[in-house]
Amino acid sequence: MVRAYFDNNASSPLMPEVLEAMRPTLEGAHGNASSIHQRGQAAKAALEQARANVAKLIGADASEIVFTSGGTESNNLAIRGIVGEWRASHPSATALPHLITSRIEHHSVLNVFEELERLGHPVTYLRAASDGRIEPAELQLALRPDTGLVSIMMANNETGVLQPVAEFAAMARAAKVKFHTDAIQAVAKVPIDVKALGCDLLSLSGHKFHACPGVGALYVRRGVRIQAMLYGGRHERERRAGSENLPGIVSLGAAARLDLADNARLAQLRDRIEQTILASVPRTGVAGAGQPRVPNTTDIYFDGIEGEALVIALDLHGFCVSTGAACTSGAVEPSHVLLAMGYPRARARASLRFSLGHQNTADEIDALLAILPELVQTQRRLVLPDAAPTLARLA
């Protein structure tokens, strides 16, 4: 039985060359990067080489990269760091700054804004259109004289839809407002130049592009001040205390050097999945079709099924897919992203995300497409047994 992993937006497997790069740090060849002895300095050199690699990947300067424990911490540090710095610099303020985000953000952004709203910050949540795009006019209308931060993701983790981040950043800059983008699902999938984008802060996470879990980074534009969330040593230029996760950071630096030209192949495989399913399985559609998307991601609805049941059926046949974000899988509620795009609840529940990685092959796609139509038909019979004859004719 073919076993194929199509859930790379949840976590992508460690690539062999990445494992090889981090092996010396796992075998004790390095010490603590803050130590001045030989092993400590070897660790420091490895750390700074990884920092340079990550910076080059997104067009930043190495001094603008802050290593973190992953995407959730990067997003929290960006948002809470800006808000905390504002509070520290306005000790006598009687009103808290207005904040802007969107309804389709990852929960590591949404939940932070909801907490800040509970603490008294006015928050505006921008709407997404039915194709998953947030129109720049929405942001323009939301900006206020008291706005202190805008945070809008670059690529959605469920649909893969890319937002016009450069336009958003330009609007924020014109209003003298800090702009953060969660680029966790975009880094290493599309070209990124933070200086061309004009963002102040950008989050990324290693295990989304074949580094190991537990490591990420936050780009902080030179001159932008953030308040630290962790206190201790003077690590990461006093922006993130704690001994660095050297094996993870080295893996992140190695993954940042992977060949991005392979993304064109992933786009072809993604397109073949979509075209074959739409042609062979009735009552299906692609979320965000027609909009720019990252090359590895597709979210497809299969009306008349329960998505979780189809995930289980595919797993039994050797294929790992998901119904959306990994941190919300198993939740009773359907995808908040698809609901925000106007999907009926039943359709949102009937949607599956296929996210590819550099390890995936054309043979794996062929095997998936050979079994999927039959599984969908079976699931539809189970959900709507009275409609089985009609569904069989449609198939």
CATH at residue 54: 3.40.640.10
Flag whether pLDDT at 393 surpasses 60: no
Q: Report the pLDDT value the prediction gives residue 328, as an integer from 0 to 100.
A: 53
Give the residue with greater pLDDT, 3 vs 185: 185
Strands (E) across the chain are located at 4-5, 65-68, 98-102, 123-126, 147-151, 178-182, 201-205, 216-220, 284-286, 297-302, 319-320, 351-355
Catalytic residue numbers read 327
pLDDT digits (tens, 9 = 90+) for 34-69: 888 988 899 999 999 999 999 999 999 999 999 999
Q: Please tell me whether residues 186 and 332 are part of one structural domain.
A: no
Residue type, 357: G
Domain's final residue, options 209, 238, 255: 255
Q: Please tell me whether residues 147 and 291 are part of one structural domain.
A: no
- Average of per-residue pLDDT across 145-151: 97
Flag whether pLDDT at 241 surpasses 70: yes
Q: 303 lies in which domain range?
A: 4-12+260-394
Q: Please tell me whether residues 286 and 215 are part of one structural domain.
A: no
210-219, 227-236, 284-293, 296-305: least confident range: 227-236
Q: How far apart are CA 186 and CA 299, in angstroms?
A: 16
Residues 6+ apart with CB under 8 A from 160: 185, 288, 293, 294, 296, 297, 298, 299, 355
Q: Please tell me whether residues 278 and 248 are part of one structural domain.
A: no
Flag whether pLDDT at 387 surpasses 60: no
Q: Please tell me whether residues 227 and 340 are part of one structural domain.
A: no
Q: How far apart are CA 355 and CA 273, in angstroms?
A: 11
Share of the chain above pLDDT 90, in %: 83
Structural domain tally of the chain? 2
Q: Report the pLDDT value the prediction gives residue 22, as an integer from 0 to 100.
A: 94
Supply the Cα-derived Rg of the chain in whole angstroms.
Answer: 22
Flag whether pLDDT at 233 surpasses 70: yes
C-alpha to C-alpha distances, 331 to 2, 177, 208, 379, nearest whole angstrom? 28, 35, 22, 20
Q: Report the pLDDT value the prediction gives residue 224, as an integer from 0 to 100.
A: 97
- Average of per-residue pLDDT across 183-205: 98
Confidence of residue 384 (pLDDT cuts 50, 70, 90): low
Tell me the two tokens of residue 314: 């595919």
Flag whether pLDDT at 273 surpasses 60: yes
What phi and psi, each to the nearest 5 degrees, are found at residue 298? -145, 140
Flag whether pLDDT at 138 surpasses 80: yes
Residue type, 276: T
Length of the chain measured in residues: 395
Q: Please tell me whether residues 179 and 291 are part of one structural domain.
A: no
Q: Please tell me whether residues 161 and 281 are part of one structural domain.
A: no
- Average of per-residue pLDDT across 100-111: 98
Average model confidence (pLDDT) across the chain: 93
pLDDT digits (tens, 9 = 90+) for 306-342: 999 999 999 999 999 999 755 554 556 899 999 999 9
Q: How far apart are CA 323 and CA 354, in angstroms?
A: 9
Q: How many CA atoms within 13 Å lie on the side-chain side of 292? A: 10
DSSP track, 55-109: HHHHT--GGGEEEESSHHHHHHHHHHHHHHHHHHH-TT-SSPPEEEEETTS-HHH
Q: Report the pLDDT value the prediction gives residue 29, as an integer from 0 to 100.
A: 74
Q: Please tell me whether residues 57 and 113 are part of one structural domain.
A: yes
What phi and psi, each to the nearest 5 degrees, are found at residue 83? -65, -45
C-alpha to C-alpha distances, 221 to 55, 122, 216, 226, 312, nearest whole angstrom? 11, 25, 16, 10, 44
Q: Please tell me whether residues 21 and 88 are part of one structural domain.
A: yes
pTM above 0.85, yes or no: yes
Flag whether pLDDT at 243 surpasses 90: no
- Average of per-residue pLDDT across 193-201: 98
Q: Report the pLDDT value the prediction gives residue 31, as an integer from 0 to 100.
A: 83
- DSSP-based three-state secondary structure for 196: helix
Give the closest residue to 318 by CA, choosing from 79, 4, 39.
Answer: 4
Q: Please tell me whether residues 153 and 275 are part of one structural domain.
A: no
- Average of per-residue pLDDT across 280-286: 98
Confidence of residue 374 (pLDDT cuts 50, 70, 90): very high
Share of the chain above pLDDT 70, in %: 95
